[in-house]
Each structure stands twice: as structure tokens, then as C-alpha cells.
A and B are shown apart, each in its own frame.
Chain A
């Protein structure tokens, strides 16, 4: 029965039924690059919020950036919101580079953690953008830029998440230990006890 898969897809980099490998460096490094640009912008804005610098670059909206960045909403938490944004981008970059090009099947846990950082954090940054004009009547150019960066990172990140989820679903269908597989403790489905001859959808 193991012959069904010898030399077959369990060692293949591209997930079954996919065109490309979502964990390939060519797919991931652009996301990491965007995260680093976001990190630079957020760090710059934190320097302004912590009064290390006393002006902020705002080419379009006059006082907009200053109003938004020094507002009460920015000060709700013990850490200024730009600094939290910088931490978010740093986490995106770090979890984006951990793991090799097979990580969608050998390390699903890091892929899902990466997806959690990129997706919901991106959504939060959008909500902050929505709040700016409604609450303060002004826009902040660099805040808008970083929201666009956060959104742009979402599609390239979630395809890896789908690949991992599909593999975990196959594990469940095949009776294997999907929990061990999720944590990368067993890197092939057979090692985790899956019966890979079970047809999906049965």
C-alpha cells in the first residue's frame, strides 16, 4: 500500500492539484519585503509619536498626520499604535522566513501563525484607516500607505494557509494523527499513521 505513493506527491513541493508551490521563496520573499517596508514606515511614525522627531512627512493632507497620530485613539494602549504596527510587521517578516520550501506540509503550524499575523492584523489596520476620517476628519498619508501594504500581503500569504489546511484535511480523512502533523512532528502522512489509499470524500 505504501507503493501507492512511492516517488509520488508526498515528496513533491507543489501541493496536490496546485499549479505552483505557495511556500516557494519566490512567493514568500516579496511578502517579507513588503513587511520590511511596512516596518520602516511604522518605525518612522513611532518616532514621531514618541516625540523623538517633531515633524512627520505629510504631502497631501496638511495637518492630517499630526492630528491622527497625536489623537486619543493612538494613546488608548500603553504602547503607541505605530509601535504596535511595527511589531506586527516584524512578526510578519519573521514568520514569513521561518521554514523551507516544504513548510506547507512539514510545518503547518508556522504557516497558520503567519496567516494569523498577516490576515487579522491587516484587517485591524484597515479599521484604523476607517476610523481616521470619521473620528478626526483627517487622513494620514503614511497610515494609508501602511494599510495598503498590509492588505497587499494578504493574498500571497493565505494561499500557503490553504495548502496546509488541505493537507491537514487529507490527514483527517485518512485517519492519521493530524495534530502531530500540524506541529511538524511527523513530516510524511504515512509517518503520522495516515492510510493514504483512502479516497477523499468517502
Chain B
């Protein structure tokens, strides 16, 4: 959960980076203010275990922002900020595999039915690993 919360903070930072770093009228600002809310939203929802798999969307969003600053005209500080923040989001994404035993083994049971709990399966214990 904390990895996704950190990504949320980074996404919010990107939303306000153009104003904070004074590159508001650049195309890079459009990228920051598009990718920022997308990363923040996805990470916020992915902080919950039931929707943790949404975090993988961040790989796509952040990849765009790792590459884009190299091709856009903007102050170096702004370019570095966008690229580094995007790399951090990439790094944070794979962590925090959810404990799906709380939810009947999760969404994958809908197609991998060997993990789908039986009709009379007992409830899972509160401290399921």
C-alpha cells in the first residue's frame, strides 16, 4: 500500500510541477499535467488490495514521461524532474503484491477456476498470510 501511496504523491507533484518549477507554457507541462493525474488516480485506487492490479497501468503512463522530456524544449530542471519522477513511479510499481486470500483468492479465480472457493468453503481467517 505504501508504494502506491508514494506513487500517488509523485503523481500529484507532477500536476503542480509546471507551476512550481515555472515551465507552465511548455508542451512538457501538458505532459506533466496529463500523466500526473493519471498516475495519481491509478495509484490512489491501487492502494487498496482489491484493486492493487491497477498499478500496472502506471508502467505505461510513466514510460511516456521517461521518454518525452528528452524530446521537448523546456528548462533542464523541468526535464530532469519529469524524467526522474517517472522513473521513480516505474520503480515503485512492482511492489506490494496483494493478499488475495482475503477475497476468495481474487479476480484470477474468474478464469482460473481451480482456485475458486467451493460453495461450502469456510471463511478465510482474519490473519491469512
Question: Interface of A with B (CB < 8 Å)?
Answer: 4-5, 8-10, 12, 14-20, 122, 126, 129-130, 133-134, 137, 139, 147-148, 151-152, 154-156, 158-159, 162-163, 165-166, 169-170, 173-174, 189, 194, 196, 199-201
Whether B66 is near chain A, meaning CB under 8 Å from some CB there, is: no
Q: Nearest A residue to B112 by beta-carbon distance? A: A201
Question: Interface of B with A (CB < 8 Å)?
Answer: 15, 24, 30, 33-34, 37-38, 41, 44-45, 47-48, 50-51, 101-107, 109-110, 112-126, 128
Q: Are A16 and B38 in contact (CB under 8 A)?
A: no
Majority secondary structure of chain A interface residues (helix, strand, loop or mixed): helix
Name 13 interchain pairs, CB-CB below 8 A, sorted by A. Answer: A16-B120, A16-B123, A18-B102, A18-B123, A18-B124, A130-B33, A154-B48, A155-B50, A166-B116, A173-B116, A200-B118, A201-B113, A201-B114
Known contacts A18-B124, A163-B104; A9 and B41 CB within 8 A of each other? no
Known contacts A130-B37, A158-B50, A166-B110; A16 and B45 CB within 8 A of each other? no
Known contacts A162-B103, A173-B113; A19 and B120 CB within 8 A of each other? no
Q: Are B119 and A174 in contact (CB under 8 A)?
A: yes
Q: How close is B80's CB to chain A, nearest CB, in angstroms?
A: 21
Give every chain B residue within 8 A of A9 (Cβ-Cβ): 119-122
A-B pairs with CB below 8 Å: how many? 120
Known contacts A17-B123, A126-B41, A165-B110; A200 and B116 CB within 8 A of each other? yes
Contact of A19 among B37, B45, B105, B123 (CB under 8 A): B123
Q: Nearest A residue to B51 by beta-carbon distance? A: A155
Q: Are B33 and A16 in contact (CB under 8 A)?
A: no
Give every chain A residue within 8 A of B44 (Cβ-Cβ): 148, 151-152
Q: Nearest B residue to A6 by beta-carbon distance? A: B120
In the complex, what distance in Å separates the CA atom of A154 from the CA atom of B42? 11
Q: Nearest B residue to A199 by beta-carbon distance? A: B118
Contact of A17 among B30, B41, B104 (CB under 8 A): B104
Give every chain A residue within 8 A of B37 (Cβ-Cβ): 126, 129-130
In the complex, what distance in Å separates the CA atom of A156 from the CA atom of B49? 10
Q: Are B121 and A155 in contact (CB under 8 A)?
A: no
Q: Nearest B residue to A190 by beta-carbon distance? A: B119
Query: Considering the complex of A and B, which 3 residue pairs feature the smallest CB-CB distances, nearest first?
Result: A201-B114, A17-B117, A155-B48
In the complex, what distance in Å separates the CA atom of A155 from the CA atom of B112? 22
Known contacts A18-B102, A201-B115; A4 and B15 CB within 8 A of each other? no
Q: Nearest A residue to B123 by beta-carbon distance? A: A14
In the complex, what distance in Å separates the CA atom of A12 from the CA atom of B104? 14
In the complex, what distance in Å separates the CA atom of A139 from the CA atom of B128? 43
> Known pairs A17-B101, A159-B50. 9 more at Cβ < 8 A?
A8-B119, A10-B120, A18-B102, A18-B103, A126-B41, A139-B15, A147-B41, A189-B119, A199-B118
